[in-house]
Structure 1
Amino acid sequence: MKHILSLSFIFCLFTLKADAQQLSNPNATALTKALYQNLHQLSKNYTLFGHQDDLAYGVGWKYIPNKSDIKDVVNDYPAVYGWDISKIEHNAANNIDGVPFNKMRKYIIDGYQRGAVITISWHFDNPLTGGSSWDTTRNTVKSILPGGEKHALFKTWLDRAATFLHSLKGSKGEAIPVLFRPFHELTGNWFWWGSHATTPEQMKQIWQFTADYLRKTKKLNQLILVYNTNDFKTEADFLRSYPGDDYVDVLSFDTYQFDLAKKQDFINEIKRQSAIVTKLAAEKKKLAAFAETGFENLPDPDWWTGTLWPAIKDYRLSYVLVWRNAGYMPSTQKMHYYAPHKGQASEKDFVKFYQNKKILFEKNLSSKKIYQTK
């Protein structure tokens, strides 16, 4: 009987180990491994709520310590903080949205210290032409591959990003884990790395080079790599530039609502995309995420419980993140925000969304101790 129990115990351990989420980087830090596995466990019952640039600014304010439009509404912070390191490639003091990198570093550390999750994207400029991310000159990706005319420049850009990422340290000097989302929305056609400006094979190669360079050469073992798409129709469409399971940890997509009259169409589209992404994530033992969404200026007062929640509730999405609250933008002469602020039309509905026990914000997430092994 003892012998049978021992074999049974070993089999159970083996099964648990086989089911555990494993990062694509075998040299990942212990904190990063713990975060990844804990997010996997949480995703069975919860979806974390995130907001881009939450601590830096909001509607009518900038750089006020501890302030947040989300916190003003529900007395709690998001569970996921999104940031973008565009302009780090030029050694600039501020990112694409004017956020000083020294402030961003502090905001990232503050969020991590409170037990939240950090995700970083990168709207890098066009290395071939010197234009912006939206300069869709063909063959830009080809130019930064090994042997390309801008390969050395691209490595310099990666070096500068690595310096910033290495500077993100906790109170004990530990490297802060980051869900890193490069080349985002790569199935779209609006960035120089988009599907119309490069080939799937080139995209796979530059992703693999970038991952290897950051992890192996720059020793950034705190990165969780997020593969991100937009505007895909099928599994094959979603995966056409997929660099392989050894280079990806999270499967994600971005989709926004643009038309109030097409509410049900948006819900149906999110369900369709969520079904594809969560199915693939389960098969590949990866996390799934809704990495960017929102409805600019939130004209629907019941958007949170009437649109977003019905769209995602049936799918195992580790987090959903809405875009930034820039407020009034002189360049467009209009307001630009995706999360509620005090007095905004969807404020009351957002409180109901906050009370949903399946959605985690920072207070409830902090009790989960996601950076500790269980």
Structure 2
Amino acid sequence: MKNKIRILLIGLIVATFYQAEAQKTNTKSSLLDKKATRKTTILYKNLQKNINKGILFGHQDDLAYGVNWRYEAGRSDVKEITGDYPSVYGWDLGGIENKSPINTDDVPFDKMRQYIIDGHERGGVITLSWHFDNPLTGNDAWDTTPKSLASALPGGESHEKFKGWLDEAAKYMLTLKDKKGRLIPILYRPYHELTGTWFWWCKNNASPEEFKTLWRFTIDYFQQKGLHNLIYVYNTADFNSKEEFLEYYPGSDYADILSFDKYQYSDPIIDNSFIESCQKQFKIMNEVAKEENKIMAFAETGYETIPYDKWWTNTLMKAIGDYKISYVLVWRNHGWQEKENKMHYYAPYKGHKSEADFLKFYNLDNILFEKEAAKECLYNRYFIKLFNIKL
């Protein structure tokens, strides 16, 4: 009898604590999807809380390949330096619209599914982008033929084809499940870099209302297909004012996270423009985030081949500065790129000149890789396991 009372008391204390924690996070913004799965809601609340603790580090295609290797189980250029995986894994859906067996980055979709499951099981966060083909011409994402975006809208000549593409993406994302058959939460970043000029969905190819219509249609369509595990990331390229950042913004009810992409192209030793530009954009986005009650991210960045050996601590960290962001992700380590006849990688590998600085970056208190980031979710996992809560 005493043991039963003791268990009940412990349960009451734990449940009270859990409820208090939930109430704390409920004072922040909630997900746009009101039917979001329990796991998705927990991830979002943890991202909200963690911005005061540190920045999750991410890497595109980290588990699939690296410099001079491909499809070797357990390998990661990042892990071979730090002993730890990234806490955010980036992947791309490009090619799924045509039922291709491999994506736009040459990763087989079957392998990508397993990499996503593996990363999630260790406590990593998954983010998806989609370099999908131009619905009007059938050419790749970089085809900016006029009126391509308009053709995908309801009533447009490519709308039915476009819906079929969304169906293929939805079918694939609905297969991304954990070992218990529960949908894995995904940070989904549709129509990325929209303020650029290089994709068919960019602002040079659509009016603000056309873009907003496409964005809202896509989210509504995915929810109708049963995708309630997506956290939607609004993503721009360059912008110079609050008005420019918000010009194509679909509204607070259609975005969960605000972000931008920016890459280093000039030598940071002699040119400080990357840091200055990032700081300017973070300042603008931070103002919007406060008004919209959203969290922020640096969704894509990097310096190809990282020729500056202190780029991580002396450039990237200065570019982020004191702004509280949920994660930063660097692009993929493809290695030798035949088409461009050059090396193509954005995270260091063992023996790279920036390896020592990357280790310093890894050991910073406010940079979180997978092991440390996973700990932030332990109290949720413990309670869930203790009380057998269904997510």
1:305 aligns with 2:330: no
SS in 1 for 2:127: strand
Determine the C-alpha separation between the residues in 2 that align with 1:205 and 1:143: 12
Instruction: Give the structure 2 partner of residue 249 of structure 1.
Output: 256
Instruction: Give the structure 1 partner of residue 210 of structure 2.
Output: 202
The answer for unaligned runs of 5 or more in structure 2 is 1-19, 384-391
Preserved contact between residue 96 and residue 165 of structure 2 (Cα < 8 Å): yes
Q: Summarize the Cα distance change of 1:68–1:200 in structure 2 as closer, same or farther, 3 Å threshold.
A: same
* Deviation per residue, 1:307-347 (Å, 9 max, x gap): 00122130011000000001011111110000000111111
Instruction: Give the structure 1 partner of residue 171 of structure 2.
Output: 163
Which deviates more, 280-289 or 50-59? 280-289
Alignment map for 1:57-136 (pairs within 5 Å): 57-136=65-144
Instruction: Give the structure 2 partner of residue 364 of structure 1.
Output: 372
Which deviates more, 232-241 or 12-21? 12-21
1:328 aligns with 2:361: no
Amino acid at match of 1:241: Y
SS in 2 for 1:321: strand
Instruction: Give the structure 2 partner of residue 149 of structure 1.
Output: 157
Determine the C-alpha separation between the residues in 2 that align with 1:34 and 1:62: 33
- What TM-score does the superposition give when structure 1 sets the normalisation length? 0.94
Determine the C-alpha separation between the residues in 1 that align with 2:46 and 2:65: 30
Cα RMSD after superposing both structures: 1.6
SS in 2 for 1:256: strand
SS in 1 for 2:81: helix
Determine the C-alpha separation between the residues in 1 that align with 2:26 and 2:107: 42
- What TM-score does the superposition give when structure 2 sets the normalisation length? 0.90
Q: Which of residues 254, 265, 273 is equivalent to 1:258?
A: 265
Preserved contact between residue 194 and residue 236 of structure 2 (Cα < 8 Å): yes
Preserved contact between residue 25 and residue 45 of structure 2 (Cα < 8 Å): no
* Deviation per residue, 1:138-187 (Å, 9 max, x gap): 11111010011110001000000001100000011110000000100000
The answer for unaligned runs of 5 or more in structure 1 is 1-11
How many angstroms does 1:253 deviate by? 0.1
Amino acid at match of 1:254: D
Alignment map for 1:185-334 (pairs within 5 Å): 185-215=193-223, 217-261=224-268, 263-334=271-342
SS in 2 for 1:292: strand
Preserved contact between residue 103 and residue 109 of structure 2 (Cα < 8 Å): yes
Determine the C-alpha separation between the residues in 1 that align with 2:120 and 2:271: 35
Q: Which of residues 330, 352, 357 is equivalent to 2:360?
A: 352
Amino acid at match of 2:313: T
Preserved contact between residue 49 and residue 78 of structure 1 (Cα < 8 Å): yes
Greater than 4 Å deviation, 4+ residue runs: 12-15
Which deviates more, 194-203 or 18-27? 18-27
Determine the C-alpha separation between the residues in 1 that align with 2:379 and 2:261: 26
Amino acid at match of 1:41: K
Task: Count residues in correspondence.
Answer: 362
Instruction: Give the structure 1 partner of residue 148 of structure 2.
Output: 140
Determine the C-alpha separation between the residues in 2 that align with 1:263 and 1:198: 34
Which deviates more, 270-279 or 356-365? 270-279
How many angstroms does 1:231 deviate by? 1.1
Amino acid at match of 2:231: I
Preserved contact between residue 267 and residue 308 of structure 1 (Cα < 8 Å): yes
How many angstroms does 1:284 deviate by? 1.3
How many angstroms does 1:264 deviate by? 1.6
Identity within the alignment, %: 51
Amino acid at match of 1:226: V
Determine the C-alpha separation between the residues in 2 that align with 1:34 and 1:15: 13
Q: Summarize the Cα distance change of 1:358–1:168 in structure 2 as closer, same or farther, 3 Å threshold.
A: same
How many angstroms does 1:263 deviate by? 4.0
How many angstroms does 1:285 deviate by? 1.6
Amino acid at match of 2:153: L
* Deviation per residue, 1:83-126 (Å, 9 max, x gap): 00100000110001110000000000000000010000000000
Q: Which of residues 51, 55, 77 is equivalent to 2:63?
A: 55
Amino acid at match of 1:239: L
Preserved contact between residue 31 and residue 372 of structure 1 (Cα < 8 Å): no
* Deviation per residue, 1:348-372 (Å, 9 max, x gap): 1000000001000001011111793
* Deviation per residue, 1:271-298 (Å, 9 max, x gap): 1111122221122121200000000010
Q: Summarize the Cα distance change of 1:167–1:104 in structure 2 as closer, same or farther, 3 Å threshold.
A: same
How many angstroms does 1:15 deviate by? 8.1
Instruction: Give the structure 1 partner of residue 27 of structure 2.
Output: 19
Preserved contact between residue 25 and residue 49 of structure 2 (Cα < 8 Å): no
Amino acid at match of 1:218: K
